[in-house]
Amino acid sequence: MQITAPWHFGIQYAGQTLDWLPTDTEESFQRLVQHEEYREYFRNKGWLEPNAITYSINSNGFRSEEFDPQADSVISLGCSYTIGTGLPEKSTWSYLVSQSLGLKNYNLAWAGTSADTCFMLADHWVPVLRPKLVVMAAPPRHRFDLISEKINHYHETYLPGSEIGQAHTDTFIKTWFLHDRNADLNNSRNRLAVEGLCTRLGIPCLTYNAHDWFAKSREEVEYARDRMHAGPQGHKLFAERILDDWRKKYT
């Protein structure tokens, strides 16, 4: 029996090329370019040119090449840090790693997702695509998913801050967000689950916490077009770390 690919937020954009994504919106961009500092930064990066940053979404709803199970590839798992919100695709760590290793770039990330989402997508796609390497940049640890519909396993991702204020009548959600150990355990479980899945299939796997690499000062990692996410320098540094770990562990 063929198993249907799990639902995720990008499916609604399958087959499209987008100019903007949350939080990289046209409104945000127009506001930022009013400031000389940001305008000059964007100009130096080439981001003031038409179509400097676009999001080409494949038929499965990912900012990725079309999937070919016969091709040698690297799968990247994560959230907005991995999809590359506010950046050209060629500046993202997933692209840099795939190019360095001579592999197809199958980026399974989407903004606002959780480590739960990463495992759910890996559980389906890793056995199908059989990549040469899986890299997970685990999203911020306080996010988690709840399946809310039986059909297609539609799920909602709960985020701290936006949910805690509405959780006064929901004991489970309130308790989850008030005790950090819940988030720590969930993050660890999902990272270990992805590693275990790959080990069972004989596929190299590296996992990290995205926040450790991208939630740094703008002097260290620069910034993306939305000025909320890390820029090209942050992705370059992370890609270098991944490649160094790959060489030490698997070559």
- Interval 84-113: pLDDT, tens: 999 999 999 999 999 999 999 999 999 999
What's the pTM? 0.93
Mean of pLDDT values over 9-38? 96
Q: How far is CA 226 from CA 47, 92, 100, in A?
A: 11, 15, 27
Question: Kindly report the CA angle at 235 between 77 and 40, in degrees rounded to 5?
Answer: 135
| Cα 139 to Cα 124: distance, rounded to the nearest angstrom | 19
Instruction: Average the pLDDT over 28-44 and give the result.
Output: 97
Nearest to 235 by CA among 54, 38, 100: 100
Domains of the chain with bracketed CATH: 71-250 (3.40.50)
- Provide the pLDDT confidence category of residue 1 given band limits of 50, 70 and 90: very low
Q: pLDDT (tens digit, 9 = 90+) per residue, 195-216?
A: 999 999 999 999 999 999 999 9
